[in-house]
Amino acid sequence: MKSVLITGASGEVATHLRRELAGNYKLRLSDLRPLAGKAKGETYMKADLSRMADALRITKGVDAVVHLGGYSVEGAWENILQANIEGCYNVFEAARRNKVKRILFASSNHSVGFYPRKQRIDHRVYPKPDSRYGVSKVFGEALGSLYADKYGMEVFVMRIGKVSDKPIDKRRLSIHFSPRDLAQLVSIGIDKPGIRFEIVYGVSNNTRSWYDNSNARRLGYRPRDDSEQHAAAIVPKKEHPTAAKYQGGSFTHLETMQNPAPLPGKKARRTVSRRSPRSAR
Ligand SMILES: NC(=O)c1ccc[n+]([C@@H]2O[C@H](COP(=O)([O-])OP(=O)(O)OC[C@H]3O[C@@H](n4cnc5c(N)ncnc54)[C@H](O)[C@@H]3O)[C@@H](O)[C@H]2O)c1
């Protein structure tokens, strides 16, 4: 049985994934935060990914890494920098030093969030991040490409839509990713022989999808769920005109209170919102 490290194991995606993958792999779970509970065959190692020593400790002796740990929404640059830039670098570099060949990287629809909704995109489009968060995901994708080409690592990038049991708004009908489809795609990423560097969309077989996910299909992905079955239950909501135009939704216009910092001599712009985009992911 393969031994697989999951970073960000206390988070939302990992909680779905652990349930779905139970019994298929030996799971080493790691997070800054404590874990809610451990199942049979799971082990837990606390780690701060922004510390290389921690990253080296947790990647030792595993067959693959599913890298989910990080800051998972738009936020202050300092947070993004530490968790998603330094943390991501440390995970790739520690895996290389520990001779772990295979890494699955949780990228996001927000790495391409400034593509218009009326455009169907595949895995070959150039990045169009919609936020500092999105930029950090593009960084992770680029790092994966570098480590594949330069060091022969096997890198599987998943541009995840929104993982949940059911979508709760119109936008999410296009990016829905059910837990069992997530588990199928992750299993392909761990087990498929011959992967060098691949980008796939982490979404179900949604009727309203914005993605041409033929690269995932080529690798054997056959999603079983379609968000359309939930469409009738969605209550229509008015969207900001910018959000309504682009795939990234509210990430294309919302800001946090801290960032971007005002330029010297200028007042902070009042277009920033106190609302966190967490709920809009
Ligand atoms: N939830 C989704 O549908 C979705 C969509 C697109 C992309 N993603 C990506 O998938 C991954 C998992 O998302 P999630 O929704 O489970 O996020 P989450 O915020 O629920 O979990 C992320 C976990 O990472 C941990 N973490 C943060 N900084 C860390 C550090 N420095 N060291 C160690 N652990 C750290 C947090 O403690 C947290 O438990 C993230 O990388 C996210 O960007 C998620």
**Which domains, and CATH codes, for the chain?**
3-280 (3.40.50.720)
pLDDT at 255: 76
The gap from C-alpha 201 to its chain's centroid, in whole angstroms, comes to: 10
Q: Which residue in 133, 147, 201, 246 is the catalytic one?
A: 133
What tokens were used for 4? 């697989």
132 lines ligand 1 (CB under 6 A): no
pLDDT at 40: 87
pLDDT at 36: 86
Residue type present at position 209: S
pTM metric for this prediction: 0.94
Distance from residue 265's CA to the centre of ligand 1 (Å): 36
Taking the C-alpha atoms of residue 204 and residue 222, their distance in angstroms, rounded to an integer, is: 9
First to last CA, the chain: 34
Q: How many CB atoms lie within 10 A of CB 208?
A: 17
Q: What is the pLDDT along the chain (281 residues), one digit of tens a residue?
A: 999 999 999 999 999 999 999 999 999 999 999 998 889 889 999 999 999 999 999 999 999 999 999 999 998 899 999 999 999 999 999 999 999 999 999 999 999 999 999 999 999 999 999 999 999 999 999 999 999 999 999 999 999 999 999 999 999 999 999 999 999 999 999 999 999 999 999 999 999 999 999 999 999 999 999 999 999 999 989 999 999 999 999 999 887 545 555 555 555 444 344 444 555 56
Taking the C-alpha atoms of residue 211 and residue 8, their distance in angstroms, rounded to an integer, is: 26
pLDDT at 222: 98
Give the residue from 60, 180, 202 showing the smallest Cα distance to 123.
Answer: 202
Would residue 151 show up in a list of annotated catalytic residues for this protein?
no
pLDDT at 256: 59
Q: Which atom of ligand 1 is nearest to the CA of 133?
A: 43
Taking the C-alpha atoms of residue 83 and residue 90, their distance in angstroms, rounded to an integer, is: 10
pLDDT at 260: 58
Distance from residue 70's CA to the centre of ligand 1 (Å): 5
12 lines ligand 1 (CB under 6 A): yes
